[in-house]
Homo-oligomer: A and B are copies of this chain.
Amino acid sequence: MKKAMCAGIDVGATYVKIGLVSSGGKIVRKTQIPSKIHAPAAEMLGRTAETIRQMMTEDGYELAGIGIGTAGQVDVDKGILHEAPNMPDWKEVPVGDILGGHLDMPVVLDNDANVAAWGEYAFGAGRGTRFMLMVTLGTGVGGGMVLDGRPYRGITNAAGEFGHSTLDMDGWVCGCGRRGCVEAYVGTQGFKRQVAEKLKAGRTSLLTRIDPEVLMPVDISRAADEGDALAVEVFRDTGVYLGHAIADVVNLLNLERVVIGGGVAKAGERILGPARETVHAICLRVPSNAVEIVPAQLGNDAGIIGAAWMAGCLRQDE
């Protein structure tokens, strides 16, 4: 008898990541293909289906389910990708119908930040909890939630916009057009501005060597590793900003765990430590006592594993 595998797919603006996931939540094989976002989405979905079919055949597996996460606004019930800011040519794409048609199987679609949260919930840092927020730190700041043991999506599947919580009504301008959002402080643009403001104040730093326009969080990380005080301070301030925004959510939702993931989260305790201290310093006592702030565990695999989990063919008890 062939062994059953679940396909988990994570569509980003550059690559489509595709994995075969065992019923116990382990990725047994994975690959990635270019997204080619200016070609029709149907073409990308066709290549994705072909890739999955090849992987299944080569290894002699049987397909048990398919889950797919994409950036942007999606309709979970209908399996449609409405639109995604980073993939502007793809609009109103019937992802479920197209991919499911190729592979002759129903497909579950959701937003990528949600799918990463489901992955961490089911097999990563959120395991064993019933009330969890995952915060994804990258170019932008995303969020996904599991509330009362169930993936939380809201009335029109748009829930989780943690990145646009207000830190300061009159604060820095955010990409969304409003002021003082957490993303304006701790997204990639936020890091640039944090560094620029400190340099403008006359501080010295290894970061003066880097063109502020192309400065990335990884440069700040390197400078911090070399003992640069300004760089260390930027991560600490980032943790404090993040802690304020997390505290609001913890007060509101009385969460059990907050999982911090995404590329920037690689700065680890430099951000997490101050975030944790801030949350426990400013949250009300009861919700503060109930929550822990932890790093994500699955890294870039969270999307693949979460997508496979969402398809309903994994078991958490293995």
User: Which A positions have Cβ atoms within 8 angstroms of B?
Assistant: 73, 130-131, 143, 147-148, 150, 152-162, 164-170, 176, 178, 244-245, 247-249, 251-256, 281-282, 284, 286-287, 289-290
Contact = CB atoms under 8 A, between A and B. Distances in A.
Protomer copies: 2
A154 B250 CA distance: 9
Given A155-B290, A290-B156, A252 B143 contact: yes
A254 B156 contact: yes
A249 B247 contact: no
A244 B155 contact: no
Given A158-B290, A161-B254, 18 more contacts: A131-B154, A147-B147, A153-B254, A154-B253, A154-B290, A155-B255, A155-B256, A158-B254, A158-B287, A159-B253, A160-B254, A162-B252, A164-B251, A164-B284, A166-B248, A168-B170, A169-B244, A178-B281
Contacts of A176: 284
A158 B252 contact: no
B284 A155 contact: no
A244 to B, nearest CB: 5
A257 to B, nearest CB: 9
Contacts of A157: 254
A179 to B, nearest CB: 8
16 contacts: A152-B253, A154-B287, A154-B290, A155-B255, A157-B254, A158-B284, A159-B252, A159-B254, A159-B287, A160-B252, A166-B244, A168-B168, A168-B169, A168-B170, A178-B281, A178-B282
